[in-house]
Amino acid sequence: MALRVDGVPPTKVKATLRPQMSGAESRVGLGPLTKGHTHMHRKWGLAAAAAAAALVLAACGGSSDGGDSSSSGGGGGGGEGDCPGADSFCIGLVTDTGKVDDKSFNQSAWEGALQAAQETGGYAKYIETVDPKDYENNINQFIQGGYDVIVTVGFLMGEATVTAAKANAGVAFIGVDQFQGEEVANLTGLVFNEDKAGYAAGYLAGLMTQTGKIGAVLGTDTVPPVVLFGEGYKAGALAANPAVDVTLVYHEPNNAFNDPEWGAAESKKQLEQGADIIFGAGGNTGNGALIEIAKAPGAGESTFCIGVDTDQFFTVPQAAKCLLTSAEKKLTLGTKDLIILAKDGKAPGGNFFGLTGLAPYHDTEAAVPDDVKKKVEEVIAGLDAGTIVTDVTLG
């Protein structure tokens, strides 16, 4: 540490000996500071002048075409974003905070909107939400633009959607993954029985496991759909094979859906403990688990992973090798069907339960025996028909 010189505390020594340490110019007192500033500023003034000159040049070069199009954009009374006319069918989609290519809900719902636009000859457009406080404003963009159907994605947007639907009875709203507590006539919540999807995945895992141990790496247990997926998985596995050992791990609430490292570490742990099939459900956290399992020895032959929500063969191609299937919410199908119903004014108020199921086996097709495939198909049909119940309830 610092030396003491003649009993003077080191800080005081520094004060007298090292005035230059604190700035470009000598700064013992307050006086010389202005001098330092002037010096700096003069230099910056020069740079500024050069930059300004460059800007002026750039502005001159671009000014001619700038004038043209700003008049076309501003003067038309409606820009490119507005619904082109009263006779066209316009679909607007507002994402939850995230992009339309998020490989998850936003993307699936947007694909549904695109398919619906194609089938109806309509027009679809999206706005990506950056700040959750802008939900209302982003929905209003489409309302003011004269859109016929507005799709909002994700349960966090539920309240903003209800408010907008109540205020705009003439517009049909579809709330993807938004459970409706009270019925609003022009708002349909597209929801899913996650326990059914989890049950089907668990049933398959229970039939497929060689070690008798399976696992699941899940988002937080404070979000009910995650719990339904997990408990459904467990119930399905036990229904297929009562002797199977099922381990469920939940992430802590903080950062629950965006912690791929944690997902990878937990899946590794479960593999080491002998699990040979692991279900990853929890956004990027679950995806981290899937990708880790794909790297394990025997991936796709003796070790498998199961994805969630959408067909993760396409959304997480890095995990394709181990991906047995995905516990799927048929989100694209549900969104498309509801939009088409809404076009004919037939979308029901309240909740609409979309179908769930399992995604195709893809690369692991050969690893699954035919009798297992058949049994799983029967179980999915039974779940859809209501003849099989998962017996999962939230505690």
Partner 1 sequence: MATTDPAQTDLGFTDPDPRRSGPLDRLPAIAIPVISVLLAFAIGGLLIWLQGVNPFRAYYVLFSSALGTPEGLLRVMEKSTPLILTGLAVTVGLRTGLFNIGAQGQLLVGAIGAAWAGYHFQLPMVVHLPFAIVFGMLCGAAWASIAGALRAYRHVSEVITTIMLNSIAIALVDYLASRPFKEPDQPISRTPLVADSATLPFFGPIPSGFILALLVAIFFGWFLVRTTQGFRFNTVGLNPSAARYAGIPVKGTILLAMAVSGGLAGLGGAVETLGITGRFEPAFNAGLGFDGITIALLARANPIATIPAALLVGTLRSGAATLQFQTGIEPEVVDVILAITLLFVSAPIVARLLFRKRNVKQTTVTSGWGS
Which residue in the set 38, 88, 118, 302 belongs to the binding site for partner 1 (CB under 8 A)?
38
Closest distance to partner 1 from the beta carbon of 141 (Å): 5
Closest distance to partner 1 from the beta carbon of 356 (Å): 19
Cα separation, 167 vs 173, whole angstroms: 11
By CB under 8 A, the residues from 193 to 252 that bind partner 1 are 222-224
Does 20 participate in binding partner 1 (rule CB under 8 A)?
Answer: yes
Does 66 participate in binding partner 1 (rule CB under 8 A)?
Answer: yes
Which residue in the set 7, 74, 121, 345 belongs to the binding site for partner 1 (CB under 8 A)?
74
Which residue in the set 6, 7, 69, 386 belongs to the binding site for partner 1 (CB under 8 A)?
69
Coil, helix or strand for 114? Answer: helix
By CB under 8 A, the residues from 250 to 289 that bind partner 1 are 253-255
**Size of interface with partner 1, in residues (CB under 8 A):** 71
C-beta of 228 vs 320, nearer to partner 1: 228
Does 30 participate in binding partner 1 (rule CB under 8 A)?
Answer: yes
Residue 375 tokens, joined:
């049994």
**How would DSSP label each residue in 186-250?**
TEEEEEE-HHHHHHHHHHHHHHH-SSSEEEEEEEETTSHHHHHHHHHHHHHHHHH-TT-EEEEEE
Q: Rounded to the nearest 5°, which phi and psi values hold at 312?
A: -80, 0
Closest distance to partner 1 from the beta carbon of 54 (Å): 8
Which residue in the set 89, 105, 155, 352 belongs to the binding site for partner 1 (CB under 8 A)?
155
> Which CA distances in Å does 246 have to 6, 178, 209, 232, 241?
72, 30, 11, 11, 11
C-beta of 18 vs 297, nearer to partner 1: 18
C-beta of 210 vs 254, nearer to partner 1: 254
C-beta of 132 vs 369, nearer to partner 1: 132
- Contact characters 126-145, partner 1, x per CB under 8 A: -xxxxxxxx--xx-xxx--x
- Residue at token pair 């039974």: 382
Alpha helices in the chain (DSSP H): 10-17, 32-75, 105-120, 135-144, 158-167, 194-208, 224-240, 260-272, 283-294, 312-315, 331-343, 370-385
Element (H, E) at 175: strand 172-176
C-beta of 111 vs 128, nearer to partner 1: 128
Closest distance to partner 1 from the beta carbon of 44 (Å): 5
Does 65 participate in binding partner 1 (rule CB under 8 A)?
Answer: yes
Fill in the amino acid letter for 249. V
Q: Rounded to the nearest 5°, which phi and psi values hold at 129?
A: -80, 135
Which residue in the set 6, 7, 21, 107 belongs to the binding site for partner 1 (CB under 8 A)?
21
Cα separation, 296 vs 313, whole angstroms: 17
Closest distance to partner 1 from the beta carbon of 149 (Å): 16
Among candidate residues 156, 157, 226, the one with its CA nearest the CA of residue 192: 226
By CB under 8 A, the residues from 42 to 61 that bind partner 1 are 42, 44-45, 48, 51-52, 55, 58
Closest distance to partner 1 from the beta carbon of 2 (Å): 5
C-beta of 15 vs 368, nearer to partner 1: 15
